């Protein structure tokens, strides 16, 4: 087990003294376990956050090996070895996971396209997805064994070559090579503009009058 305590953490006889030390550190933007600066928006420095992650993984592995629920403080056994949580905590764990994935999706969509379809301008989160600009999305997901594209993109520090599309535009691009919106936009750009039509009509009127 990894020890996440350090000699910099104050050793006090009562909880109130430690609380005063902790609040002073947090108010100064310092780590809650040492005197290093805390990461932005976090209560711990980078070193102690990594130690916390290692400790949490170690605890989770030991609980899974023992067949216990992974919920903190729960002493119930799971129904099947493939389950991570007991029946009482399973739905709550799923709800928390959905919230986490939705938060990551919003961050990724905001990074790649301000949460707007690059083709039709759709902005509703439920309709938006990530598109491989140069194609090959299926092969990429299979070769990298990607379960959730948004999670993979955030984990790999937002690589280039991706854009935001709605489900309709993404399906049309993958199935037919191009989205109908793109074809319609090109067709409308080749249509003569209104001033040119008005100019032509004026010329005809002048010719007839003469």
- Examine residue 49 and state whether it is found in any structural domain, yes or no: yes
Higher pLDDT among residues 105 and 209, named by residue: 105
- Examine residue 52 and state whether it is found in any structural domain, yes or no: yes
Nearest CA to 66 out of 130, 74, 123 is that of 74
Confidence of residue 191 (pLDDT cuts 50, 70, 90): low
Mean of pLDDT values over 203-209: 39
CA 153: distance to chain centroid? 8
- Examine residue 31 and state whether it is found in any structural domain, yes or no: yes
Structural domains of the chain, count: 1
Q: Which residues pair with 165 in a beta bridge?
A: 129
Q: How far apart are alpha carbons 108 and 91 in whole angstroms?
A: 26
- Examine residue 175 and state whether it is found in any structural domain, yes or no: no
What is the phi/psi pair of residue 160, to 5°? -80, 165
Confidence of residue 192 (pLDDT cuts 50, 70, 90): low
Mean of pLDDT values over 54-78: 86
pLDDT value for 169: 94
- Examine residue 58 and state whether it is found in any structural domain, yes or no: yes
Residue 196 has pLDDT above 70, yes or no: no
pLDDT value for 141: 93
Residue 112 has pLDDT above 90, yes or no: yes
- The length of the chain is 210
Q: Are 173 and 131 in contact (CB under 8 A)?
A: yes
- Examine residue 192 and state whether it is found in any structural domain, yes or no: no
What is the phi/psi pair of residue 162, to 5°? -130, 155
For residue 66, the surrounding DSSP H or E stretch is helix 46-66
- Examine residue 179 and state whether it is found in any structural domain, yes or no: no
pLDDT value for 108: 96
**Most confident of the following: 140-144, 191-195, 196-200:** 140-144
- Examine residue 51 and state whether it is found in any structural domain, yes or no: yes
Confidence of residue 142 (pLDDT cuts 50, 70, 90): very high
Each residue's pLDDT tens digit, 152-184: 999 999 999 999 999 999 999 999 988 999 888
Long-range residue pairs from 150-159, CB within 8 A, at least 24 positions apart, any chain:
150/101, 150/104, 150/105, 150/107, 150/108, 150/109, 151/101, 151/104, 153/108, 153/112, 154/104, 154/107, 154/108, 158/108, 158/111, 158/112
Range of the domain at 26: 1-66
Each residue's pLDDT tens digit, 16-38: 687 888 888 888 889 988 889 98
């Amino acid at each position: 087990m990894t020890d996440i305590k350090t000699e910099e953490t104050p050793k006090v006889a009562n909880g109130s003294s430690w609380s005063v030390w902790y609040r002073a550190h947090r108010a100064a933007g310092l780590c809650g376990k040492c005197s290093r600066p805390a990461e932005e928006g976090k209560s711990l420095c980078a070193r102690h956050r990594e130690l916390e992650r290692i400790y949490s993984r170690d605890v989770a592995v030991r609980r899974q090996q023992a067949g216990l629920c992974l919920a903190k403080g729960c002493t119930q056994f799971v129904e099947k070895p493939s389950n991570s949580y007991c029946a009482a905590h399973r739905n709550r764990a799923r709800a928390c996971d959905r919230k986490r994935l939705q938060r990551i999706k919003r961050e990724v969509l905001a990074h790649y396209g301000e949460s707007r379809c690059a083709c039709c301008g759709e902005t509703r989160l439920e309709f938006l997805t990530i598109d491989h600009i140069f194609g090959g999305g299926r092969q990429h997901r299979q070769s990298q064994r990607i379960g959730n594209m948004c999670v993979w993109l955030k984990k790999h520090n937002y690589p280039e070559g991706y854009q935001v599309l709605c489900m309709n535009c993404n399906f049309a691009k993958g199935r037919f090579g191009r989205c109908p919106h793109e074809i319609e936009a090109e067709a409308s750009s080749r249509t003569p503009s209104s001033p040119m039509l008005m100019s032509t009509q004026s010329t005809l009127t002048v010719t007839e009058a003469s």
